[in-house]
Structure 1
Amino acid sequence: MDAAIPPNRVARAVGPRVTLAELVEQLGPRTITAIGSMGGAAHVVGTEFFDIADEVPDATGTLLLAPSTASLSTARLAAVASGAAERGAAGLAVKCSAERLPALAAIAEATGLPLLRVADRISWRLLDAQLTRLLGEAEAPLAGPQDRGAEPLFALANELAEFFGGSVAIEDLSRNILAYSSVPGQLIDALRTHGILARQVPASPYNDDQYRTVLRSEGAVKYPRLGEEEPRVAVAIRAGALPLGSIWAIDASGEGRVTPEQDERMRRASELAGAHLLDDLRVHATNQRPREDRLRTLLTGIDLTGTEFAELGIPEERGAALLGFEVPGAGPTAIAQLRSTAIRHLVLHRPDAVAIAHRGRVYALFTAGSVDEAVRMAEPLLPLIDRLVGEGTTVAVAGPVHRSGEVAGARELADRLLSAAARGSVPEMPRIVTAAGVRPSLVVERVAELFAAAGELRDPAIDALRATEPTRPIADTLLTWLECFGNVAQAAERLGVHQNTVRHRLARASEAHGVRLETADERLAVWLQLRATAR
């Protein structure tokens, strides 16, 4: 599966042409509206995401989706529209405020390029999925024309069951069974029977790997008999790059592999099921909420299915980075504004990005193969956040992670990085914090946790020095002397005492209190305990 939508990609060509006016009419005014006149009946043969930082590609018949035009001046946007018109684009889709509509209408009139306004509540990812569906609807259906009635998914499951000879289930991303077949004589096993009764896929040791594979595959996938489970053919349901669910058919044909006809049947069933699920998504969840729920699950690490990366469109091979944002003293309104600002910036470059507010902080997850790549994504965000939310925001970068179960650990690391930044444990602490930048501080924190949890590692003599006021200067002198690598003169200067005072306190630590300092390991253990308890 093409897991992420890059800023630029080759336009998807389709068979029958659809006019731009037809697309706008079918999507409806709650999704997209024309700015000014639509001009002639331009035909659309594909879509393409367009980044304003790049030159306009050859765009003949292509509807350009431009997430990054909101900050452009009117003159710059006019130049972009003019270039797109010269390259044969069918139209340019943008998001804009109501105040800019007259200026954009004038640009459309001057360049002859239709401009479309995308509703703010519609994510670019969802719009891409809707367009993909509409541009592909003219292809041949799974079977001949027929009245599917009020429950098209059940009728679709029955058609597939008649072809495969076994029970068919259509599922959403949460593995709820949305529809199932009821063809007389169909092959069915106990697992499918239990799932139909509960309307939920039963737990199985094979589930996570199987679903991950299916959601990342372009065509149908065949699974052989596993224990009491009959052979199954499965295919992902998606619209564009947006995963929506899956179809599972018990295969009674006896074929060892997926045949070309089986693959074709499953692909067409996926397209039809995707159309119905996408309509439901558009009506009931037209924003990023389902994706935000996935991220919230990943951050907590509870009830993971193992397919979250595939559902979010993040390739496991490349990995994902997690950004944690914190604004000192921010209230709920500022946190919401911070999340909105972060996601608006990130999706311009990573359409798979998703962000949520969680426990007073904002977390964003997106495709990135290295910490440096994630830092480059975060750097342009800081001036925007300073201007729109407030100064003092710190960003923690954790990752990359390659599995769903690793995201909760990345969130814990991001929290530790933000805490280290808040304490100012590193001189001239940067505003974008990475593990490499504060590693010594992280080591000391973990050592402190280790000493607190394992009493046998603590030297009682060191604890005794810290416990009382008269002996506390001895502990402070020990710590300073060790930090000065045994240099008495330097330690005395830092403490503001005479060198003989330092020597006297070291002698008392050894002779009167039993602190051992003869070997390097002993000095290391003493320093770690003193450093950990000095926090």
Structure 2
Amino acid sequence: MNTAGIGGTDATGTSLRRLADALGTEMMWAGARDRPIGEVVIAEPGDVLADLPGALVLAVGARGADAITVVRSAAEAGAAAVAVRAAPGEDGALTPQVKAAAERAGIALMGIAASVRWDRAEADIRGVLERGAADGTSGHRGDLFSLAQTVATLTRGVVSIEDAAHRVLAYSDSGDEADELRRRSILGRTCPEPYLAHLRQWGVYRRARTGEEVVDVEELPEMGARRRMVIGINAAGRPLGTVWVQEGTRGLAGRTEEVMRGAARLAASQLVDHWFQGDPGARLPSRAGLAHGLLTGRFNSGALAAHLGIAPNASATVVAFDLREPESGDAVSQDARRAEAAEIISVHAASYRRSAMVAQACGQVYAMLPERAAAPSSEGLLTRWAEDLVSALRHHLRTPVQAVVAGTAPRLDDIPAVKLRGHHGLQVLARTPERQVATHTALTASLMVRDVLGLLDRHSEIRHPGLDVLARHDDAHGTEMCRSLLLYLDAFGDVGRVAKDLNVHPNTLRYRVRKAVALAGLDLDDPEHRIAAMLQLRLSREEPGTSPFPGG
């Protein structure tokens, strides 16, 4: 008998009535329908069932008298319902005897149609219970399923997460990629013993329990097992479980080991709760809220440091991400996309820095990477990491994601200020969508000009009157002297380049510049005249939907 927990076991679980309604006509019921379901248990003939309050027992392979025995045993163990194979015409498939046994025992009975495989039925049931968990009944496994799916997306593999007893806690969708071993493990919710024996013989678990080594496990065709990679989930020297990635037909992605390392670190905090029977449903949202508070400055950082497992004197680098999705008006879809991006960023960030935190704010996603003040990461290393991550996000989300390495906060209290730098940097970076990543250092000049233009915009009395005359002349005569002069100044007087950009003859450009200078009363030999002209001309170009920056 194998337990497959899918949520809490209290009275807040998904009811049998809701489960039956959601699964549709292939599921047939007898008996009470309003009892809550807290977990799913796989049972085979001869299994001993005990202490299963609120469970749904899937009687795999039980027919005839065996099915009646499982029904009785499940009821005695406190289970809420039993599912048996319903195949009319075959002995024991929702026969009057099985129904009568269920009614006498006071347990609900589910019939699984002959056309539905047990693994599909279990997956459908899990999906319904997960949706119920999203309504407020979730435990930590919902987060593990999400993590498994994210790892599968990033590695191109088939993922499962097991506890230290080799029980399958969560797994990704596999389609037709799952091998026979995977199917048996998911159906039974545990790895088959013959394969476990091979893993022990090869020393796989011994290696996975020490450090963060990703162990490559060769294929075993005679057991229906393709090549796999596994990493241990460990905390404080205690093995808590493993993350498995089975190779599919496309082969595994190049950064699979890095992704698995990040996933194992993220899973560790959830499995700590599982090990000590804590309340992960409260702990994980709490950690997410505290990380958001650290990012926005809502809480005292010193008080948060110990709770988040960060040294109180640590510095922290902030990297800001924007999906650059078009405004669709569908706020729910955009929230879902950002949540998916945050999950991918979390996996990569945890691989890069064990104590990494990820939070959403201002429609963007921010990674906070705490580090010892004595040995901060180089800006170049962080930029390369961000470039790899943005490439992964663009590939998987199909949006022109951009990122800004905002810099390092010397203290945790300084994170909100650095976050704001990242936010402003993303605003400036938006004018060059072909750039994936920039550092705040590289954007400093652009940010400085932007701030000066903002100041000028708020003080309309600060203007050069000659440039106002030039702008009015363009409006009245349909000429482009303002634009031509600005591009000429931006190009340090490179007439050939600007003329090509404007698609005019170089002599035409020279004429425009001379006339513009004369109308505005400028002296281009005077650096202050040039600065004033560049600033005001940029400001005058700004119209709704445009940028004051050339090329914006």
Q: Bigger relative contact order, structure 1 or 2, given CA contacts below 8 A and separation 6+?
A: 1
Report the TM-score when normalising by structure 2. 0.47
Report the TM-score when normalising by structure 1. 0.48
